[in-house]
Amino acid sequence: DGELVDDGFTPVSAGGKTIELNQENLFKKLKEVIDARGKKNTNREDQVRILERLLVIANSPYQKIRVLLSLISAQFDFAVGLSGYMSIPLWKNAEKYVNLLLTILESNPGYVVKENVPDEDD
């Protein structure tokens, strides 16, 4: 149910180079995705796919929490359109990630999510 699989998606930079996602650069790539949010010509679907890949790579609760917080926010970045609401598939995806975040937080009570905290240099 909450299992994450490799979809074969390989992130590519604007210059056409393959983006290497690994433990060593997880927080760097996460910051790049966060910094690109809302900017013109940012492909939201690619951003979500990169975040999903980072979630697969993340192995500590802290890494997963950081990626999930961005991934959940990214779900709500998709255009709502004239309907005024999220599509059911997008909502279900957001729900899946919120539930995963809650599961991780319940299993790791030492971690607390707050709305306003200073950015950390990871």
Which whole number is the average pLDDT over 25-48? 89
Burial of 121 (0-12, 13-18, 19+ CB in 10 A): exposed
- Answer yes or no: is pLDDT of 25 > 80: yes
* Helix, strand, coil fractions of the chain, as percent rounded to 5: 50, 0, 45
Looking at residue 1, what is its pLDDT?
A: 43
Residue 8 has pLDDT above 70, yes or no: no
In tens, the pLDDT along 62-110 reads 999 999 999 999 888 776 666 778 888 889 999 999 999 999 999 999 9
Render the burial of 26-36: b for 16+ CB within 10 Å, e for the rest: bbebbbebbee
**How far apart (Å, rounded) are the C-alpha atoms in residues 54 and 107?**
20
Structural contact between residues 54 and 6, judged by C-beta atoms closer than 8 angstroms: no
What is the tens place of the pLDDT at every residue in 44-63? 889 999 999 999 999 999 99
